[in-house]
Structure 1
């Protein structure tokens, strides 16, 4: 199979978060290889992924608008469209992100409890 990539990819093992819709839904994932133009990303369940998403890689301090190019089981190939941030993610940014995720989880739990009562 011919490799049609514009630049070679580096093999990596980075934790990342994919923002999969406008309402702030996220999915944790693992970046397996990356270049300036795209990445191979592994998800626990890739069946619910949209054609476009934001990929946030805290370790690199970058966020990419990505288009889904291929899908194979729980791995996908992403092509980067625009780099949306070039500044390192600070500890405060990471804590805010975790806090927002926890807030959404707690809001969902409150809805469940109110619905049962």
Structure 2
């Protein structure tokens, strides 16, 4: 099989946490190799892994927005879209941003329902 990676990956054994939806659901995982463009990650049940997720690797102090590239048994290959510093402030900022978007959507829906009633 031809390796199409943009760079060499470091073989590691890091614990990670994948945030798998907007509600904050998480799955623990093991990062097997990683570089700035992607990683090979092992899950207990890879069939439940979504196409996009946020992967946090505490040992590196980083969070990555990742897209699933391949799946084989309980391992998946991820491509990183954005790398962010894993600080509580940035996490709170992201949660606040998502909350404000949902609030605006709900307010629009309430106005629509009141206008129809």
Bigger Rg, which one:
2
- TM-score when normalising by structure 2: 0.72
Q: Give, in whole Å, the separation in 2 of the partners of 1:72 and 1:30.
A: 15
- TM-score when normalising by structure 1: 0.72
RMSD: 1.6
1:3 to 2:3 alignment: yes
Number of equivalences: 89
**Following superposition, which runs of at least 4 residues in structure 1 exceed 3 angstroms of deviation?**
none
Q: CA deviation at 1:2?
A: 1.0
Q: Give, in whole Å, the separation in 2 of the partners of 1:17 and 1:65.
A: 12
Task: State the match for 1:51 in structure 2.
Answer: 51
Q: Give, in whole Å, the separation in 2 of the partners of 1:64 and 1:46.
A: 18
**Structure 2 unpaired stretches of 5+:** 92-117
- Superposed CA deviations along residues 89-116 of structure 1, whole A, max 9, x for unmatched, are 8xxx9xxxxxxxxxxxxxxxxxxxxxxx
Q: Give, in whole Å, the separation in 1 of the partners of 2:15 and 2:64.
A: 14
